Amino acid sequence: MSILQKIREKTYLALIFVGLGIALFVIDPSSIFSGSQRGETHVGIIAGQKIEGQDFELKVQESIENYKANYQQANIDEATKEAIRNQTWEQQIQEIVMGAQHEELGITVSAEELFDMIQGPNPSPQVRQAFGNPQTGEFNPANVIAFLKRMDEDETGETKKRWLAFERDLKKQQVYTKYNTLVKKGLYITTAEAKADNVAKNKMANIRFVAKRYAASTDTTVAVTDAEIKAYYAANNYKEQYKQEEAVDLKYVSFDIKPSAEDNQAAKQWIDKTTEEFKLTDNDTLFININSDKPYAAMWYAETALPSAVDTLKKATVGTIAGPYLDGATWKVSKLLGTKMAVDSVKARHILLKVEGSKTAEQVKATADSLKKVIKSKNNFAELAKTLSTDFGSGANGGDLGWFKEGVMVPEFNDACFNGKKGDMPVVQSQFGIHLIEIMDKSKETRRLNIGTIERLTEPSDKTYQNIYSAASDFSTKNRTLEAFEAAATEAGYNVRIAANVKPMESKVPGLESPRQLIQWAYNTAKKGDVSDVYEIGSKYVVAVLAEKYEKGVKPLESIKEELEAEVRKEKKAEQFVKEFEAALAGSPAADALAAKMNTAVETAQNVVFSAGSVPGMGKEPEVLGTIAALKTAAVSKPIKGLSGVYVVYVDNVVEAPEVTDFAPAKKQLAQTLSSRADYEVYEALKDKADVKDNRVKFY
């Protein structure tokens, strides 16, 4: 790999999410920004700053060109585009949110500092990687200087452009590093915190407890009024469990676009006609390439490996036809084009040498030829493979690849092995590099058959498309409400799919490929209960209904009324159980006596530790854990309202945490734990404060 290529890769330093190392992705400009249906021109607002669509699209365009140059790809699939677009947006958020912090604190990288990062005695890790030896990892500063001297020799200016981008990202990464270091240096663990942590982790209690769980009492015994539900909602709507992000629930029916019986018959008629022509042609491969949905591929089958549909060709003469026959949705006709005697499998070993750095393929081939001469004189193939081969898996076994059948290896490697003789040592080039091969053994020759096949996939005709679309359109037109949609779907026997909690920039919906147009309809056009027009998504026509729309913020009371009713009922049960326990505790009875009064049994829990987060036999019960932590041996708690029931705890004994005289190691460990979370949590806090509004669903 060339230094320029490494620099291209390093241009994309991990800037998305501070400290998370998420690589910068880019997207294809297939949808140029042109404004939304509502006239907005900005794709979002970050910390009060509008992100204009044109500016955002320019960033996307620039990233696309870099991506194409780096990975030599002309096209990007739709799923990758969606993922990359989201990453680009996240980078935009980070640049604004963190950029404001860096500017406020005056964090910069001077020219002298940048020079030191590139050519100083302790260069940046990115520079070391870009200019290091890929085999040994060894870094030579002279390589950097030599590259910079040669940079202007590129008359296109591409090399200098890449280098400047590389420098720019080095500076950005250094600024982020400085900021994160500044935050971490401000973190401190006190001795008191270390002592509390020691107690939380090591103080243990053995307890007995009497529990009355909410599930033991039927819900019908506790009445809940609407007024009580409203009061509970008002008092608790600040809790995370009652918050929601913007989302929609969709229901949809799909009409699969599949070939009709007429389409299948048309394909059958075509293959029948073509079969007669195939019998008479003198140029089989050309005829196949002109007529078949798949071009000719030279496949030589062993007689025992023939597909069952062409088994009649096993002992046939060249020119014999098999078929037509149906293979799935494809009509096929096959012809025996030739026979030969050939081996079934080969045993070989190889030494793989990569073409990288400043070395050309010819230079690496020359190295392989030299190795061949050494091996022939010293018979040390396995030894050299272990030390020199860059195929580390086979190299560890002396380069041995074992036995393999034809077609398993890449074509260049495959042909060299199957066309050569036992003992040959061919040198070939493949996509992986230069291979020095030794053909160790070959199986017995058997009769092989060259089968040429013409394929005709049965596809929906224009008429079929129209018929299916008409059915979908008729369903959409006649059923314009949620109730009508569900009733008609049930009557027609359609499978109604549910896509719940679909976010604005979701790229997937269960059962649908690339459903962005449907999601845009749900967010930009539809109201709750609206039924969509017909959308063509993948190989389906889809009609959807917007079943529910959730705004960002606190969930409306009505949407969680059942959940709230259950919580209120639990609260009322808890109050009732506490009164029962208080009455039963009169006279301070022992655990057995209390259990008898409460018509339950005494339970035990050993080695209860506060930091564990749960109590054996109870599960997650923070109120109980907090109470136990404050109790001494032989103490009895008051009734405790827990998450799953009400409890009275009897402490049999407490094992205090061991005395610690030196808290330095504990403080260091706690500081490391805190530091590991700092980058992410600081960024998330700043991002939340920035009040990000994402409008991209209006455009993409």
Cα–Cα distance measured from residue 456 to residue 462, given in angstroms and rounded to the nearest whole number: 17
Tokens of 287: 């005829």
**Is the predicted pLDDT of residue 40 greater than 90, yes or no?**
no
**Is the predicted pLDDT of residue 26 greater than 50, yes or no?**
no
**Is the predicted pLDDT of residue 24 greater than 80, yes or no?**
no
CB 514 within 8 A of CB 78: yes
**DSSP string covering 454-470:** EEEE----HHHHHHHHH
Cα–Cα distance measured from residue 643 to residue 402, given in angstroms and rounded to the nearest whole number: 61
CATH number given to 246-256+461-551 = 3.10.50
**Is the predicted pLDDT of residue 355 greater than 90, yes or no?**
no
How many percent of the chain have pLDDT more than 70? 93
Among the listed residues 406, 482, 487, the one whose alpha carbon sits nearest the alpha carbon of residue 446: 406
Q: How confident is the model at residue 359, as a pLDDT?
A: 80
Tokens of 87: 């990453």
Q: Give helix 561-584 / helix 226-236 axis angle, nearest 10°.
A: 90
Query: Which contiguous run of DSSP H or E holds residue 609?
Result: strand 602-609
CB 400 within 8 A of CB 349: yes
**pLDDT per residue as tens digits for the range 449-499:** 999 999 999 999 999 999 999 999 999 999 999 999 999 999 999 999 999
**Is the predicted pLDDT of residue 18 greater than 90, yes or no?**
no
Instruction: Look up residue 155 and give its amino acid.
Output: E
Q: What are residue 244's DSSP bridge partners?
A: 553
Q: What share of the chain is helix, strand, coil (3-state, %, to 5)?
A: 50, 20, 30
CB 131 within 8 A of CB 3: yes
Cα–Cα distance measured from residue 303 to residue 463, given in angstroms and rounded to the nearest whole number: 43
**Is the predicted pLDDT of residue 16 greater than 50, yes or no?**
no
Instruction: Look up residue 672 and give its amino acid.
Output: Q
**Is the predicted pLDDT of residue 204 greater than 90, yes or no?**
yes
Q: Do domains 246-256+461-551 and 345-443 have the same CATH topology?
A: yes
pLDDT band at 4; cut points 50, 70, 90: very low
pLDDT band at 23; cut points 50, 70, 90: very low
pLDDT band at 149; cut points 50, 70, 90: confident
**pLDDT per residue as tens digits for the range 421-433:** 999 999 999 988 9
Bigger pLDDT: 144 or 196?
196
Tokens of 374: 């050494």
Cα–Cα distance measured from residue 413 to residue 611, given in angstroms and rounded to the nearest whole number: 59
**Is the predicted pLDDT of residue 13 greater than 70, yes or no?**
no
CB 315 within 8 A of CB 350: no
R_g (Cα) of the chain, nearest Å: 36
**Is the predicted pLDDT of residue 82 greater than 90, yes or no?**
no
36-41 mean pLDDT:
62
CB 664 within 8 A of CB 670: no
Number of C-alpha atoms within 13 angstroms, CB side, residue 144?
A: 21
SS3 category, 298: coil
CA angle 621, 626, 631 (to 5 degrees): 125
pLDDT band at 136; cut points 50, 70, 90: low
3-state SS record for 390-423: CCHHHHCCCCEEEEEECCCCCHHHHHHHHHCCCC
Which of 90-94, 121-125, 132-136 is predicted least confidently? Answer: 132-136
**DSSP string covering 506-554:** ---BTTBSS-HHHHHHHHHT--TT-B---EEETTEEEEEEEEEEE-SEE
36-65 mean pLDDT:
82
Among the listed residues 45, 54, 59, the one whose alpha carbon sits nearest the alpha carbon of residue 16: 59
Instruction: Quote the distance between the C-alpha of residue 235 and its chain's center.
Output: 39
CB 211 within 8 A of CB 647: yes
CATH class for the region spanning 345-443: alpha beta
**pLDDT per residue as tens digits for the range 277-323:** 999 999 999 999 999 999 998 778 888 888 899 999 998 999 999 99
Residue in the structure block whose two tokens are 């109604």: 496
Q: How confident is the model at residue 57, as a pLDDT?
A: 85
**Is the predicted pLDDT of residue 583 greater than 70, yes or no?**
yes
Number of C-alpha atoms within 13 angstroms, CB side, residue 153?
A: 6
**Is the predicted pLDDT of residue 351 greater than 80, yes or no?**
yes
Number of C-alpha atoms within 13 angstroms, CB side, residue 577?
A: 29
Q: How confident is the model at residue 134, as a pLDDT?
A: 62
Q: How confident is the model at residue 641, as a pLDDT?
A: 97
Tell me whether the omega of the peptide bond preceding residue 324 falls within 30 degrees of 0, making it cis. Answer: yes
Which of 161-170, 245-254, 532-541 is predicted least confidently? Answer: 161-170
Burial of 368: CB neighbours in 10 Å, binned 0-12, 13-18, 19+: buried
**Is the predicted pLDDT of residue 239 greater than 80, yes or no?**
yes
SS3 category, 325: strand
Q: How confident is the model at residue 39, as a pLDDT?
A: 62
Cα–Cα distance measured from residue 15 to residue 171, given in angstroms and rounded to the nearest whole number: 11
How many percent of the chain have pLDDT more than 90? 69
Query: Which contiguous run of DSSP H or E holds residue 39?
Result: none
Residue in the structure block whose two tokens are 């779907």: 489
**Is the predicted pLDDT of residue 542 greater than 60, yes or no?**
yes
Bigger pLDDT: 584 or 157?
584
Cα–Cα distance measured from residue 446 to residue 349, given in angstroms and rounded to the nearest whole number: 23
Cα–Cα distance measured from residue 609 to residue 197, given in angstroms and rounded to the nearest whole number: 11
Instruction: Compute the mean pLDDT over every residue in the chain, rounded to the nearest whole number.
Output: 89
CB 320 within 8 A of CB 419: no
**Is the predicted pLDDT of residue 93 greater than 60, yes or no?**
yes
| Per-domain boundaries in the chain | 3-184, 204-243+560-655, 246-256+461-551, 261-343+453-457, 345-443
Query: Which contiguous run of DSSP H or E holds residue 304?
Result: none
